[in-house]
Structure 1
Amino acid sequence: MIALLRARLWRDRVQVPLWIVGTALLAAAGYAGVVQSYGTVADRQEILAAVMANPVILMFRGLPSGTSEGAFLAFTLLPWLAMLAALMSAFLAVRHTRGDEEAGRAEPVSATPAGRTAPILATIVHGVLADLVLGLATALTLIGVGFDAAGSLVAGAAAGMVGIVFLGVGLVAAQLMRTSRGANALTVWTLMALFLLRGLGNAAGTPSDDLTRIDSSWLAWLSPFGWAEQARPFDADAWGPVALGIGVGVALAVVAAALQSVRDLGASLFPERRGRAGATVTLSSPTALVWRLSGGALAGWAVGGALTGILATTLSGAVRQITGQNPAVGQILEKIARAGSLDEAVITVFFTMLGILAACAAVQTVVHARQEEAHGTAEPVLASAVGRVRWLAGYLSVATWAVLVVVGAAVATGCLALAAAGGESELYRVVVVTGLGQAVAASVFTVVAGLVFVLVPRATIGVAWALIVVATMLGMFGPLFGLPEWATDLSPFTQTPVVAQGDTDLRGLWWLLGAVAVGGAAALALMRRRELTAGG
């Protein structure tokens, strides 16, 4: 098992450290945001009181547990630290179990004395070690910026605990689903459902008399994200919920090992749907095949876009109330959005998040090309009359449509929400212009992922996702960190057109369009001479 563990550590020598460093940096950035924007107890108390008057905000924030700097940091950031740990662990679990079976790596290992038990044990140890390091790095970061050690350790442990739970979720999903794509989709949908369940539990909770704390309803106790928040770092510092989550994670890992023992290698507990004897019209081209493979994930991204559009046009009232009590919030929005009125700034900020969602949908689609190539399933397609350029063009075109679908869903729901609320006519233009601009920004990541796939295929997944993370940090958080304007302007999300006081600022639209056109053409031209590269 030691040799298998070393192999896993080597394979993840880039991906896992990026997740860990990113989580620690987010914790440090959260401290800077709290100190700069909510520097006094009165500021934090006003924000908490306004938040409790609008439970929708609790869906996307943590559990209010007091007005100290540490407790307020946990309120604003802990769910997102836990989400990063969850995603890292779930993907790790699927990659080294179902992913290895798909790639053919599991069969030679199972034929050795290692059998079928040692690989899953090595994956469990690898995942737990990654979560321990992530939790410790988060805790040390918080201690380093000045928070007390007890609360910092609980915060780090809570984030790591959620990672361990989703390590178990990923392991079980890998036993249930036939493909790594299906297993990853199942874990992500489970994550989103449990994240929203935690938010509902907090929104349905009981506020304290001084409006600085909430006692969650029982719904929050059904989610590992809720357990992390119930630890209440920098307040109660309770270790019981952390122990509960670790116990559930261990139980899930045991269940996964038991399920593996009763199925054949390469099989799954949920069998694949029987295929047709002949292909339908919807599978008459390589592009149609990509649509078939990406349809489920695209539907999920579209739902996220629709929710973003609704929030962008309905939360202005709540934000206006908070801004009236704490002008620093309005200043933050102005820095990020560089827009005019508060309503315009709120829509611009939410649609920047929409651009990130659309970019993720596009990159996930292009990454499928690399997965098909690595798994050997691209070779039969390319052995037919389908050429390399046409094959890649199918992925790039579907990725472009994915961007348009996600953005279109947000624009549609945003306009419908404005119509229902009787919003100003000018805001419709803000929604449309900002949405189309973010579609162009997201398309930049489509062609960049395509270029990386053509030039450095083995680095496609890591580099493509890392670029989105960097662009997000620069575009969304750069102004909060005090980065110079030239640094934040490196993010495509900040170069899109915005509407301010009735005037449209095109910013870097033409540069973005040029990058999309040149990058797409270059990727297709270079693909003509590239050979297939098998393996992960």
Structure 2
Amino acid sequence: MSRFGTLLGQRVRRDWRQLLLWTVGTALLAYLSYVGVAESYGTEQDRTSLLAAALANPVILLFRGLPSGTDAGAFMVFLIFPWLALLAALMSTFLAVRHTRGDEESGRAELVAATPAGRTLPLLATAVHGLLANALLAALVAAAFLSVGLEVEGSLVAGAAAGAVGVAFLGVGLFAAQLMRTSRGANSVAVWATLLTFLIAGIGNAIGTPSDDLTRMESSWLTWLSSFGWAENTRAFADDAWWPLALCVGLGLVLAVVSVALVSARDLGESFVAERPGRAWASAALSSPTALVWRVTRGAIVGWTVGGLLTGLLSTSLASIVSEISAENPSVAQILEQISGEGDIEQGTVTTFFTMLGVLAACCAVQIVCRARQDEAHGTAEPVLAAPVARTRWLGGYLLVAFAGIVLVVAAAIAGAAGGIAGQDGDWDLMGDVLVAGAGQVAAASVFLVVTALVFVLAPRLTIAVGWSLVVLGMTLGLFGPLFGLPEWLTHLSPIAVTPFMDGDQLDVRGLWWLVLAAAAGVAASLALMRRRELATGD
């Protein structure tokens, strides 16, 4: 076998489980989306009403796609396509960084570079590996749409558009890996680039030009600055335009070529963005392992906290808008009731946004536990544990900081919700719903935290894959379960879907005590088991 084939095969063997989760999960989301849309918006009148309401209140388009008509397929793409593309983008950036900057950090790249493969062949193998992964994702998404009887060309365009976004961000990940000194820094740059371009596309759609019948939106120039916007302008099941996909693929290939040039122009292990030099002496604030965990994770916590602030702001700012939409379209009210309970529409909107907040808080916690696994795998945990620091104290530091991150994300959302009410001179009675929903999501996110910690203790090499998979599964069941028409018992398997809410003036605690009990038991079990576990270095 050729050197290139050997490297490519190694990447496939190393990643096949993770890629299976990403690609099949994305295709399953596409399939269930159509099933849910067909059930909840089965008539053209329902779809027309929702599109008109969305175009009349463009802020809703920040989190949806580009309206292209009332056809069932086009309407489904409007509702779900940005999320399919987002999953493809995240899959691609993580893949690119893992096999480039991640391998340099672990020392694997140095060993490969000492062989005839050299410096550039591994990067080329990673690029081809990413292209194959996105081709598989595109094929599965297209197959999901075809399986429900949608048109062939529209299905192919929608699948190819999701894969093309992945290719664009594969290039972003490869480029970020050349710029930053650590895989953590490269992943941060790539993820922020992903979220920023996602938001740019949403804003560009929101300030576009609606059609006279309020069923179609023409993008503004801003949308064309984002690869998400390029893919949305294929307008699957409406125009079926293929040419915007060339922009996505072209961007990915250009960035890959630039990355090949950059990797040849720098020393192994170095980067083009220099790390900030540290102090010669640590401050007193770093006198404990918990303080060290806070120091290395505070940047990520700040990022998730900003997301919490924006979510809280939107929850109360949009409450009155959604109330107006629901009055015109009973299907919207039904979905909100399924997600949040039987309260009024404004209460339901707050609870729905805070369900999204629970996902953000869970992401913050899981990322911090995954950092514990990375420190263990890279050997940076050993010097800490060589000091008089017990394993339980070391893991306890990560759990404590992760819980603090959850609290900060939720507190920022509560502050944002208060700001949204003040900015619109709204109903301050909603703050009671905000506080109840926020407290409930702290408990829900804590369950994700302790389950990931248990995986870290029992099967450390599965920590990252299982931790993030659980968050995606919880998000799918909790946020999209009602849209997909899933049974209530299945939706309620997600911790974020069984948190307390206000039903009028009455508090319904739902599964709060089970969440608290599960979180407490998980903390106790993970710390007890950690006492007996040896370090597990390596991937």
- Bigger mean CA deviation after superposition, 85-94 or 239-248: 239-248
Match of 2:52 among 36, 49, 52: 49
Partner residue, 1:163: 166
What is the distance in 1 between the residues matched to 2:492 and 2:229? 37
1:129 and 2:132 matched: yes
- Map Cα deviations across residues 17-46 of structure 1 (whole Å, 9 max, x no partner): 101011101111111122112222222122
C-alpha deviation, 1:485, in angstroms: 2.5
What does 1:385-424 align with in structure 2 at a 5 Å threshold? Answer: 385-424=388-427
- Map Cα deviations across residues 69-105 of structure 1 (whole Å, 9 max, x no partner): 1111111111111100000000000000001111111
What does 1:193-212 align with in structure 2 at a 5 Å threshold? Answer: 193-212=196-215
What does 1:160-309 align with in structure 2 at a 5 Å threshold? Answer: 160-309=163-312
What is the distance in 1 between the residues matched to 2:29 and 2:434? 29
Partner residue, 1:140: 143
Partner residue, 1:66: 69
1:323 and 2:326 matched: yes
Partner residue, 1:6: 9
What is the distance in 2 between the residues matched to 1:93 and 1:433? 40
1:152 and 2:155 matched: yes
- Map Cα deviations across residues 268-307 of structure 1 (whole Å, 9 max, x no partner): 1111111111001232221111111111111110111111
Aligned-partner SS, 2:64: coil
What is the distance in 1 between the residues matched to 2:473 and 2:233? 31
Q: Count the aligned residue pairs.
A: 536
Does the CA-based 8 Å contact 2:37-2:484 persist in structure 1?
A: no
What is the distance in 2 between the residues matched to 1:340 and 1:216? 36
Match of 1:79 among 64, 78, 82: 82
C-alpha deviation, 1:387, in angstroms: 2.0
1:336 and 2:339 matched: yes
Match of 1:445 among 448, 464, 471: 448
Does the CA-based 8 Å contact 1:339-1:348 persist in structure 2?
A: no
What is the distance in 1 between the residues matched to 2:80 and 2:481? 16
1:530 and 2:533 matched: yes
What is the distance in 2 between the residues matched to 1:76 and 1:425? 31
1:523 partner amino acid? S
Does the CA-based 8 Å contact 1:344-1:499 persist in structure 2?
A: yes
Aligned-partner SS, 1:238: coil
Does the CA-based 8 Å contact 2:171-2:256 persist in structure 1?
A: yes
What is the distance in 1 between the residues matched to 2:342 and 2:429? 13
Aligned-partner SS, 2:70: coil
Partner residue, 1:494: 497
1:460 and 2:467 matched: no
Aligned residues: percent identity?
61
C-alpha deviation, 1:480, in angstroms: 3.0
Does the CA-based 8 Å contact 2:448-2:471 persist in structure 1?
A: yes
2:522 partner amino acid? G
Match of 1:382 among 385, 394, 400: 385
Match of 1:28 among 16, 19, 31: 31
2:70 partner amino acid? T
Aligned-partner SS, 1:412: helix
Aligned-partner SS, 1:515: helix
What is the distance in 1 between the residues matched to 2:535 and 2:344? 52
What does 1:507-522 align with in structure 2 at a 5 Å threshold? Answer: 507-522=510-525
2:238 partner amino acid? D
1:17 and 2:20 matched: yes
Aligned-partner SS, 2:270: coil
Does the CA-based 8 Å contact 1:339-1:498 persist in structure 2?
A: no
C-alpha deviation, 1:477, in angstroms: 2.4
Aligned-partner SS, 1:504: strand
What is the distance in 1 between the residues matched to 2:428 and 2:232? 41
Does the CA-based 8 Å contact 1:172-1:253 persist in structure 2?
A: yes
- Map Cα deviations across residues 176-209 of structure 1 (whole Å, 9 max, x no partner): 0011000000001101111111111111211112
1:120 partner amino acid? L
What is the distance in 1 between the residues matched to 2:80 and 2:492? 25
1:372 partner amino acid? D
Aligned-partner SS, 1:267: coil
| Structure 1 unmatched ranges of 5 or more | none
Partner residue, 1:367: 370
What is the distance in 2 between the residues matched to 1:92 and 1:64? 31
What is the distance in 1 between the residues matched to 2:217 and 2:426? 32
Does the CA-based 8 Å contact 1:426-1:502 persist in structure 2?
A: no
1:101 and 2:98 matched: no
Aligned-partner SS, 1:13: helix
Does the CA-based 8 Å contact 2:205-2:217 persist in structure 1?
A: yes
What is the distance in 2 between the residues matched to 1:192 and 1:303? 12
C-alpha deviation, 1:400, in angstroms: 0.1
What is the distance in 2 between the residues matched to 1:268 and 1:30? 42
Match of 1:354 among 352, 357, 366: 357
What is the distance in 2 between the residues matched to 1:229 and 1:459? 35
What is the distance in 1 between the residues matched to 2:394 and 2:81? 42
What is the distance in 2 between the residues matched to 1:251 and 1:422? 49
- Bigger mean CA deviation after superposition, 246-255 or 316-325: 316-325
What is the distance in 2 between the residues matched to 1:82 and 1:441? 27
What is the distance in 2 between the residues matched to 1:102 and 1:432? 43
**Residues 194, 32 of structure 1: alpha-carbon distance in 2 compared, 3 angstrom cutoff:** same
What is the distance in 1 between the residues matched to 2:388 and 2:424? 54
